Chains A and B, each alone.
Chain A
């Protein structure tokens, strides 16, 4: 068998969401990798232009199921800047708490998925069982297990009472007792270490050059975290925070970074719950937003999430652009996959914690042969689609 092209996706058991990879494979070694995105494009940015700001809060929340709170926070704080609002301190603390609890949920989920990709189903079941603790906590606060709908312009929508705070502290204590077990297991179970150590190496210079974000970058030793570089939601001013890095640069380092981030997050949550200031949770927000443009960033679970909002004085935004963290991590992933084994493809892809729903936004496709770009409006695009299928004999 010489070299041949192995397609992974758009549908493949290794992928949680559709992506199209084409690997040039020689036996068991991956020689080259090619990536095509766009299968999860839902037209959210276009849809945001015809909805009011309040409706857009919920639309942007549903960009991704796991980073839902991060997207909502990013949009809410960006528009608050445009409106000139300052949320009260209690609102900021609860906003931060939701973001950190979502981080716990996401990292525990990721540990399970990474275990499943290497065939370690018991690890997967145990981490997801412990994740139920944080899911119950989130359901108690917000009424939902994902897509919490807690952020709004001017603060948060629901408050915490004494009994909830007590239950939350108990839940965090339970999680704090369970998580070091997974950290130890990741470092001492021989079959697991054999699969993840030395795999998917990303040296520091390459991480900086290809602009990796989030735990992927921090696992290569790069101290890049929006909570430290561009603090939001009370980080830095009121809430202490330590950045977590590791120098390994391989999948084991990413596991270690995420597990240590979990421990750091538990400390942050405990600080917030014990020092929650009294007061209001939100201020009233106007319906119409004054003209302006704003770029807002948060540290989502997978890295730096950027929202750009341009307003024109009405109650509907002019343009909303979302740059999710996974889009920034794909070039690094392609670099990591080249030269590795076919068997390492699932775990290397899973190690950046890919979220395709976050990734697929509007992209400009350049015709490489002619070097030109073409902009189509809605009607032209529709006609193009109908002609495409009619040529292939499919009646529409």
Chain B
């Protein structure tokens, strides 16, 4: 292929009239697709405390605590659990969502993880 002086010039000049490829964040935000790996959200009513999510999390970002244990008249034991979730440790791998037998964890569409206070990144689902 031969050398052309200013080979890129026509393409570059065309760009004077094109719309820019940049989105002016934060005034305008990109939309994320379905299935985006955001923050895990847990429904405590469905949790059975099997601790599979805690075992499988690669970053030790989850903790399951037993809140209460009640026995009703028929002798049936029902336990309530809460999940403590450390957003600053999460690697968004969705292994917790995959392994939960009761489908109690889902990843939402949030992608703005920043906070000024470390405590704000510790989320408790009761």
Asked if the two chains touch in their complex, CB atoms less than 8 Å apart, one says yes
Closest to A184 in B: B1
Q: What chain A residues lie within 8 Å of B95 (beta carbons)?
A: 54, 58, 149
Is A62 a contact of B55 with CB atoms below 8 Å?
no
Is B3 a contact of A193 with CB atoms below 8 Å?
yes
Task: Please judge, given known A-B contacts A144-B92, A158-B35, whether A54 and B56 are in contact too, CB under 8 Å.
Answer: yes
Q: What chain A residues lie within 8 Å of B5 (beta carbons)?
A: 190
Is A188 a contact of B92 with CB atoms below 8 Å?
no
Q: Which residues of B, 39-57, contact A by the 8 Å Cβ criterion?
A: 55-57
Is there a chain B Cβ closer than 8 Å to A5's Cβ?
no
Is there a chain B Cβ closer than 8 Å to A312's Cβ?
no
- Inter-chain CA distance A139–B111, complex, in Å, is 13
What is the interface of chain B mostly: helix, strand, loop, or mixed?
loop
Is there a chain A Cβ closer than 8 Å to B8's Cβ?
yes
Residue from A54, A157, A188 within 8 A of B7 (CB atoms): A188
Is A143 a contact of B8 with CB atoms below 8 Å?
no
A-B contacts, CB under 8 A, total: 72
Is B58 a contact of A58 with CB atoms below 8 Å?
yes
Is A149 a contact of B93 with CB atoms below 8 Å?
yes
Q: Which of A59, A122, A143, A190 has the most CB of B within 10 A?
A: A143
Closest to B38 in A: A143
Closest to B12 in A: A122
Is A129 a contact of B36 with CB atoms below 8 Å?
no
Is A58 a contact of B91 with CB atoms below 8 Å?
yes
Is there a chain B Cβ closer than 8 Å to A228's Cβ?
no
Is A55 a contact of B57 with CB atoms below 8 Å?
yes
- Count of chain A residues with a beta carbon within 8 Å of a chain B beta carbon: 32
Residue from A54, A132, A140 within 8 A of B33 (CB atoms): A140
Is there a chain A Cβ closer than 8 Å to B2's Cβ?
yes
Residue from A55, A136, A149, A184 within 8 A of B94 (CB atoms): A149
Residue from A51, A144, A184, A189 within 8 A of B58 (CB atoms): A51
Q: What chain A residues lie within 8 Å of B92 (beta carbons)?
A: 144, 147, 149
A contacts, CB < 8 Å to B: 51-52, 54-59, 62, 122-123, 126, 129, 132, 136, 139-140, 142-144, 147, 149, 157-158, 181, 184-185, 187-190, 193
Beyond contacts A54-B95, A126-B11, A143-B33: 9 other A-B pairs, Cβ-Cβ < 8 A, are A54-B56, A55-B58, A56-B58, A147-B92, A147-B93, A157-B94, A158-B35, A187-B1, A189-B3
- 23 A-B contacts (beta carbon < 8 Å): A55-B56, A55-B57, A57-B58, A58-B91, A58-B95, A59-B58, A62-B91, A136-B33, A140-B35, A142-B35, A143-B33, A143-B36, A143-B107, A144-B37, A147-B91, A157-B94, A181-B11, A185-B7, A185-B8, A188-B2, A189-B4, A189-B7, A190-B4
